[in-house]
Amino acid sequence: MPPLPQRITYRVAVRKAQGALGRVVDAIEAAGGEIHGTEIATQQRHVAFRDLTVLVRDDAHAEDVAAVLVELDGVELLALTDEILAAHHHGKIRVDLTREVHGPQDLALVYTPGVAKVCRMIAEDPTAAYQLTIKSNAVAVVTDGSAVLGLGDIGPLASLPVMEGKAMLLKSFGGVDAYPILIDEQDPDLFVDTVARLAGGFGGINLEDISAPRCFEIEGKLRQRLDIPVFHDDQHGTAIIVLAALTNAARVTGRGLTDCRVVVQGVGAAGVAIINLLRAAGIEDIVPVDIDGIVEPRRRTGLDPIRRRVAKQTNPRQLTGGQADALAGADVFIGVSGPETLALDTVRTMADDPIVFALANPTPEIHPDVARGHVAVMATGRSDFPNQINNVLAFPGIFRGLLDAAATTVTDEMKVAAAGAIASIVGDDLAADYIIPSAFDRSVVPVVADAVASTARAQGHVRPGSAGSLAAETEAAQQDAAQRAVQRAVTRRFQV
């Protein structure tokens, strides 16, 4: 897959002359750039200052275009602005206030001495923090930078722009206050201990871009130590969207979801989570496949503890061999592995009207153009094809629901409920090229949040006074306090 074009803005001073701008445009296009916009910034008697927005292939191409502009007579290159860098200038998130401080009275309310009253209340009853502090709406986006997007182990600091982006999406889509927490530690126990010690100010933990198999250990130990939800989005967010999409894909092909024969290729963090959630949704015939073939107990190579557990829980027909053996007669292929690892000839051995989710990104296991006409439903991780499996459909609504319910954990039932809610958005518009809502569909978050919060309450995984009753309890407490103050005042009056 070629790199996505970048937009670069070149500020140039162009001497006013007949055809001067045309020569600049011709030079840029001759260098392979595509003019996307031109605007006069300002002008003087003999010169015009223009901002030229140009589509280029990459950084090297941007420099080539700049070199062409430098060589043009009557043109001076003044500045070059990279749209990507400009979007990240000084970071993408900030802290906002819910109340301004204009004078001594405001300061006395929000800080000393007024804040002491709130501190005492929380000391006496820690659940008051969910009503009286940011904890009720705060999520820590925690990483060690060991598995960042397609960049790999680049370290926590280099991962910060990604974590800021995650926090942006939580805020923009779910109204959740999220903040990046970078942990410079790859020992799982030390990492867990660090997160556990700083978790007190948050209502949830979003683990992000942590490599497998450490991510499984870290999430498991944090869930044991903390009484707030811990959610590794790379695992469970992907699994939830896959289940939602598969629910609707099964409908398109006239299958019962739990009757599907499913092959999951890739037994990393996402693959394991997908297998676990499909099992929680009632699908029994799941065959896991990795680079060494079908993951099954008798295999002699590549069976780490995670794969051994997966092998014991799946493959009820006890298949052996490789990818081709797993896919013969299968209804569904779910790939979370590597590029171009699924041949069309193998797809042809699947059941009639097969469902193929080729989620390797940016190059899928099989390209949609290759699979077209041979599959009934196709999904990828890419935005330039229908049915994009995108985690942004899941995590904002999930955390919104968990926080609304003041949930203490995340369960499989909550994840299944979230998947069902996402699938329901499609409704009567269901089609082979529309099995999942758009990542920008703002109707998704409220539906997912309600499903997650309702399930959390039904399971009893909430604190007293959670969700909608929080506001009512706060209001009742304020009314009680006001009533007691009135009674004390009346008593004092008559005592006098």
Q: pLDDT tens, 215-224?
A: 999 999 999 9
Distance CA 248, CA 436 (A): 8
- Could you tell me the pLDDT band of residue 471, with boundaries at 50, 70 and 90? very low
Q: Report whether 142 contacts 207 (CB < 8 A).
A: yes
Q: Report whether 335 contacts 360 (CB < 8 A).
A: yes
- Cross-strand partners of 357: 334, 379
Phi and psi, residue 95, nearest 5°: -95, 130
C-alpha distance from residue 129 to each of 201, 206, 379 (Å): 9, 20, 43
Q: Report whether 173 contacts 109 (CB < 8 A).
A: no
What is residue 494's predicted lDDT score, i.e. its pLDDT?
46
Percent of the chain predicted with pLDDT > 70 = 93
What is residue 1's predicted lDDT score, i.e. its pLDDT?
45
Range name among 319-323, 385-389, 474-478 with the lowest pLDDT average: 474-478
- Could you tell me the pLDDT band of residue 352, with boundaries at 50, 70 and 90? very high
Q: 65: closest CA among 37, 32, 40?
A: 32
What is residue 488's predicted lDDT score, i.e. its pLDDT?
56
| Stretch 32-51: mean pLDDT | 91
pLDDT reading at 485 higher than 80? no
Q: Which CATH number fits domain 109-228: 3.55.40.20, 3.40.50.10380, 1.10.1740.10, 3.30.1540.10?
A: 3.40.50.10380
Q: Which of 10, 130, 135, 166 is catalytic?
A: 166
What is residue 472's predicted lDDT score, i.e. its pLDDT?
39
Q: Is the peptide bond before 362 cis (omega within 30 degrees of 0)?
A: yes
Percent of the chain predicted with pLDDT > 90 = 86
Phi and psi, residue 443, nearest 5°: -80, -10
Residue in the structure block whose two tokens are 């011709």: 26
- Could you tell me the pLDDT band of residue 480, with boundaries at 50, 70 and 90? low
* pTM listed for this prediction: 0.87
The span from the first CA to the last CA of the chain, in angstroms, equals: 86
* Annotated domain spans of the chain: 6-87, 109-228
Q: Report whether 411 contacts 236 (CB < 8 A).
A: no
In sequence order, what are the residues at sequence separation of 6 or more whose Cβ sits closer than 8 angstroms to the Cβ of residue 453?
Answer: 401, 402, 404, 405, 407, 467
| Stretch 106-130: mean pLDDT | 93
Structure tokens at 356: 């193929």
pLDDT reading at 479 higher than 90? no
In sequence order, what are the residues at sequence separation of 6 or more whose Cβ sits closer than 8 angstroms to the Cβ of residue 181?
Answer: 140, 141, 142, 143, 163, 195, 198
Q: How do residues 247-268 score in pLDDT, each as one tens digit?
A: 999 999 999 999 999 999 999 9
What is residue 45's predicted lDDT score, i.e. its pLDDT?
84
pLDDT reading at 489 higher than 90? no
* Per-residue buried b or exposed e for 297-322, using 16+ beta carbons within 10 Å of the residue's own CB: eebeeebeebbeebbeebbeeebeee
pLDDT reading at 302 higher than 50? yes
Phi and psi, residue 394, nearest 5°: -110, -60
- Could you tell me the pLDDT band of residue 366, with boundaries at 50, 70 and 90? very high
Q: Is 111 one of the catalytic residues?
A: yes
What is residue 27's predicted lDDT score, i.e. its pLDDT?
94
Q: Is 130 one of the catalytic residues?
A: no
Q: How do residues 314-351 score in pLDDT, each as one tens digit?
A: 999 999 999 999 999 999 999 999 999 999 999 999 99
Return the CATH number of the domain spanning residue range 6-87: 3.30.70.260
